């Protein structure tokens, strides 16, 4: 059976839903939501989530890194220097080389600083990291990131945590046509239909945190996102009909009485 697998760097995954580990009420809730979602990759904010101090509740006691891949990220970093230090620390702590880079440009809207992001990507790839990059949906900058060796391009749909859904479908379509590495929507997903739309546009995966963690029922939302991603992917692979402003009868005129 030919499985439709998500391929990132040298890893393969059945699930195309990536889930964040922040904003939950506690680690128990986080672990349960992730299990229900079926995600095989979880993002971990190295500067915020405890992954090394065994005197306090530690994420690894709730989410087994042998079963689910940890994706260390640089959430909260506003300079290339901070981001590089954070990911080098992650490599020392857990040996992680597949990482998620985000270098933010402002504290209000949390948009990426693309100059610092590009500079960081170039350094990290030379150091042997496989870098999945949070970025704007700018096709020119995304191509530069890809050319610098990025393992995945991760454009925002909308500001982090906003839940606004995809604001610029045209740019996402352009990115799909030009991007040879995995294209993953990161930030701004608010509900299941947003995840479906991202996948129907041809994205390889979506990353969701706030929409699940802050939902009134995070477990039900996690399940909803799981099936939304599956549905959207199947829809994209099926090949939609060509849109037409005129009606078209479902049956032929042949043999009319």
The catalytic residue positions are 100
Question: Do 76 and 110 contact (CB within 8 A), yes or no?
Answer: no
Give the pair of three-digit tokens for residue 95: 């040996």
Q: Report the distance separating Cα 186 and Cα 203, nearest Å.
A: 11
């Amino acid at each position: 059976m030919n499985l439709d697998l998500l391929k990132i760097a040298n890893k393969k995954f059945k699930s195309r839903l990536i889930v964040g580990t922040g904003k939950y009420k506690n680690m128990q809730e986080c672990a349960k939501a992730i299990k229900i979602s079926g995600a095989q990759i979880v993002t971990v904010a190295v500067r915020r989530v405890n992954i090394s101090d065994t005197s306090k509740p530690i994420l690894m006691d709730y989410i087994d890194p042998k079963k689910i891949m940890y994706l260390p990220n640089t959430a909260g970093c506003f300079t290339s220097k901070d981001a590089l230090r954070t990911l080098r620390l992650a490599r020392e702590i857990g040996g992680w080389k597949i990482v998620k880079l985000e270098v933010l440009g402002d504290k209000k809207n949390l948009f990426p600083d693309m100059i610092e992001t590009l500079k960081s990507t170039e350094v990290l790839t030379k150091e042997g990291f496989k870098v999945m990059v949070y970025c704007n949906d700018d096709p020119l900058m995304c191509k530069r990131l890809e050319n610098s060796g990025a393992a995945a391009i991760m454009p925002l749909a909308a500001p982090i945590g906003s839940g606004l859904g995809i604001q610029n479908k045209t740019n996402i379509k352009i990115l799909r046509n030009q991007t040879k590495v995995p294209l993953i929507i990161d930030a701004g997903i608010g509900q299941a239909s947003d995840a479906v739309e991202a996948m129907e546009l041809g994205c390889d995966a979506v990353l969701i945190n706030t929409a699940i963690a802050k939902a009134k029922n995070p477990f039900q939302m996690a399940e909803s996102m799981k099936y939304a991603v599956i549905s959207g992917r199947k829809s994209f692979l099926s090949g939609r009909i060509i849109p037409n402003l005129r009606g078209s009868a479902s049956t032929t005129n042949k043999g009319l009485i």
